[in-house]
Structure formats: C-alpha cells, structure tokens
Structure 1
C-alpha cells in the first residue's frame, strides 16, 4: 500500500519547525536533547531553544530579538498595506485577432497576472503576444513545438519578478511553472491537458505535483484540464479529485466554465492560500469563460528608484588634467586680472576640460528595503556632522603646524591645547566602541594640563 503525504506533512519534517512538547519530553527522557555549542567569549546567554510558534525563531537573548523586529518592522508594515494579487485565467483558443481585446481586459481590470492556455502560437512567433502585452507588462511563454493548438503563456507586471522552474515535460499535458519570490514565495503552475484521454495523465500529474510540493508550501495550480469534474459518475474525474485530496488541494471553481455547461477550467491551491472574489466573465471571443480572482499573499511592491549623477574622478590623471588646462590657457592668453565675463569663460573652460577627462554619468539605483526612519531632516543633520568633523580635523592640523612655527612664548600653550583636543577626540572615538571603552580619570582640566601633557617639541624661532 502506497503512503500519501501532503505538502504540509512533509514540511513538518523540517528541522527548523518547532517540535511538540511530547517530542521534547521524549528527547529529554532519553538524554538526546543537547544544548548548542556557544563560544565562551561570546557573552551570549542561551534562551529556550523550542520557543512558541509565533515568537521570533532565535536562541539568543532578547537584545537580538528586538533588533530583528526593528530590522523587519518597515518591510512588514509595507507588506500589510499592499493589495492582493489580482490574477486571471482564460482559454483563448488562439490569440489571432484577439490581442487588442485581451490587452484592454488586462488594463481595465488592473491585472497582475493573466494566465493563458491554448494560445496556438509557435516558437519564434511573438507578434500576437507582443500585441496582447500592455505597456508596463512582460510575458513568459511555452509554445507547442509541433502540431496545431496548445501553447501556454503568462503576462505579468514588470515589477513582479517571475523565476521559471525547470521541470521535465510530460507527454500527456503541457505546463508552465514559475516561482514568485517574496516573504511568502508562491509557486504557480499553468496546465493545459488536451481533450484526448490518455492513461498516463494521472501518473504524470502525480509526479509533476510531487516535484512542486518540494519547492514551496504555497502552491497555485490552474489551467484547462478538460475533465468533467461536475460529473460524479465519471471514474476518471473521481480519480483526479482523489489525487487533489491526497495533495491537500482545494478546488475553487464551482460554476461551469465552458459553453456546454461543464467545469473544465480549474483553480486549485493549498490551504495556506486565501483566494477571494472569484468570478467568471464571458469575453465573447472563446467558448471558455475568463476566471478572475484575488490572492491574499504578501508580494513585495515595486522598488523606489532614484537617478543619480556622478563623475569617476578616480580615473582622472592629474597630469592629463593639468596639460589640458595649460594648453587651453596658453592658446587663449587669459589676462592676469580677469573681469567677471572673463571669469565666466575661464570656469566654462575648466568645466569643458573636466567633462572631457571625467564626463558626467547617470545611474539609476534602487533600494529593496525602505528605511522610513531615515528622513530628509536626518540626512541634513548627518551631512552637517560630516562637515563639522572635517573642519575639526583641519583645525587640528593647522594648530599643529602653527605650534611648530610659532614664537617661544606661545608655543607651549598651543601644544598643550592641541594635546588636550587630541585626547578628547581619542576618548570620544573609544567610547563609541564598547570593547575599547575605558573609564575616564576623575581629574580637573587644569590638573591634566599640568601633569599629563607631554613636553613641547623643539621649535625654531622665526625671524620677524
């Protein structure tokens, strides 16, 4: 007798799933429950390994749990505000002379995915698909290599990343499988089964879905199966429904999808998917009805893109830049005391030389995670902080140079002030690193100036 396992039962065997209390007690009784190895200098305390199912899966202290929550709080709030994935299924019975109608059907209903069966297009035949695909959409297809009919395609929004899955082809049906990545990855399979009955379909379908179950627990199966599942006396349809029950799949279409009153187009999903607002629409261009639905699954939204302009100054050689400027200045004979119009020409000349050696480049960048805490006000403050840090370092360097070339009367005082500023900067930098931080001595500034300051370096008296 063959054993049947659902996808959820197979996923329970994963070691990352929290075991039950009975299993934990059994492991403790036989002495098989061991604590994980932790380095003695890691300063981490081990918490309860088998936490609650809804808690953060971490074995460390609450500090890391809070940081994990803060790290993913923005993405979780973004996902909760997103709309459901609007999907449609339609058997076109040839895309010829129907592309414009399907193009309007996508734009009018604001579809995210449109799954098409029986497109009747051949390899390297993309005219009908290009006309069907609106602006801002792309498609993935699987044409029939030989014979008439068949063909599968899916039209999707450009901001949705579809990863096609390589699954061996079956002789009894055509399929197109892809994965939609995200916080909860969704695996979708579009199937078209020809109306001719083949004895190997049930075994081929079982092998095909077994491979899909090992990829993801969120599965969506839809297409034209050409099986009268509304006929309870049909043994073939009864065996097919038994396979769906063995894989814990739910069939959502309950109304006829064909002009002859049978349910041929099916939408099946696992229990973790919530499908709502399923409806049938007659487009009057085929003997099948179009099926539209909403899938409540967290799909990542479009990334925010920004256009930046920059110069690659690292590729600029100073010698080349200097020679370029000298050639232009010599040829134009700039005066010693230029007027404002002549300064404008001079600046324009420098810009021309810079554009020739290091031209401006434009690049579009995007960020996968939006950081709502990084506001424009915070950006301005960080910019001011960097400017003040640069001014402080420059002032310290100028003070040291002044100390070396000052008179004997003020040189020791400048050296003491410089040493105090350097000590304060080192203490601030070390206090930001907890491993290097050390308690400051409880002494007054005057005492530190007298006792801890180093002796002034030798100096030379400048001729006044």
Structure 2
C-alpha cells in the first residue's frame, strides 16, 4: 500500500460581478484527472449562498461529483463565503474559528484519505523506425534469405506462408531493430478525439508531401 495523493484547487473570486468565473472554474476543474484520487476545492468564493449565483456554482461543482462541507458562517458579516468541496474522501470535525486579524474566519477539518494499491508499472511499446529503413537493403536481405524458387515451389501453402512471414520478420528486425518507447504517464488530451487525431495525421502527411514537391495543389491540400 502507498499513501494516496490528492488534487487541490485553491479559489479566490473577487467580490462583485462574477464575469467569466464559472466558465474559468469549469476549465480548471476539467484539468484535474478523474483517476480516483481525492479532490479538494476550497477558498474565498465571495458568493452569497442566498443568491442565484450560488445555485449555479453548486450545480457546476456537483457535475464534478464534488460535495460541499457544511459549515457555520465563515465571515464577520454572518455569511458563508469560504467554501470547501471534496470528492473521494471522508471529512469530519469541521471547526470555524473567528480571527482578530481578518474579517474571514479560520476553517479547519479532518480529512481521511483512502489507501490505494501500488499500481503496476506501465509497460512501454516497441516499434520499428521505418524512416531509417533502406528498401534496397531490405530487398537484398529477403532475396538472399528465402529458399530458392525451385525449393519454395515444392512447399505446401501453410509452410510457404510461414517461411515467408518468418523471413520478412527476421530481415526487418536485423536491418531495422525494434526500439522501445516509454509508456505515456498521463492520458491524452480529452479534446483530441480519434477523428481529430485522424485528420491531424492526414494533414501532417499532406504537409510533408508539399515540403518535398512544392506543388501548389499539395499546398492547398495541406492547408485544408
């Protein structure tokens, strides 16, 4: 077992008009990975809980499965302006203490974090660097490694297929060895869907084609 790591977001919203506060908070919360780790969002929100803006705020936080800790007034005016929202953890012993040096009160609480099993290290991937492959060298290696035409023609279909496949694999591995690539430690950007990734790949291919040919038609395709 290993200690649980947590995500923490500290918020300050200036008093007055909220402007784009909810949109910016939405973007911030979306940046935290939903990997099961506890998330704590707290700070001076400066939003009166009896105002319509508070309803919108709570709806936004609830959409991220964040629950608000119930407290007494956290400001000298008797309002609850300092809020705490948590996810995937247990909270207890919430205490609000007035301060002589601030109009905001000191809020403290105990938080119990779950323990998580130590994750198995991610495995890397292996691939051939085909950009360094010489077609002529590959042809020569395959031609010299395969059985003669007379011998190859005497083999049954399955044996001939296996022989060809193993020869191709052996020659490719000898000329263009497998190289390892470390596993990705973070998930890909959520906005980069399979469709966008496919279009991006096609665009990069068209761009490389234009860089070689300088053909206006290829340039138009790469721009579009």
- State the TM bucket, normalised to the shorter chain: 0.3 to 0.5
- The structure with the largest alpha-carbon Rg is 1
Q: Which has the higher contact order (CA 8 A, sep 6+)?
A: 2
Q: TM-score, normalised by structure 1?
A: 0.24
Q: TM-score, normalised by structure 2?
A: 0.48
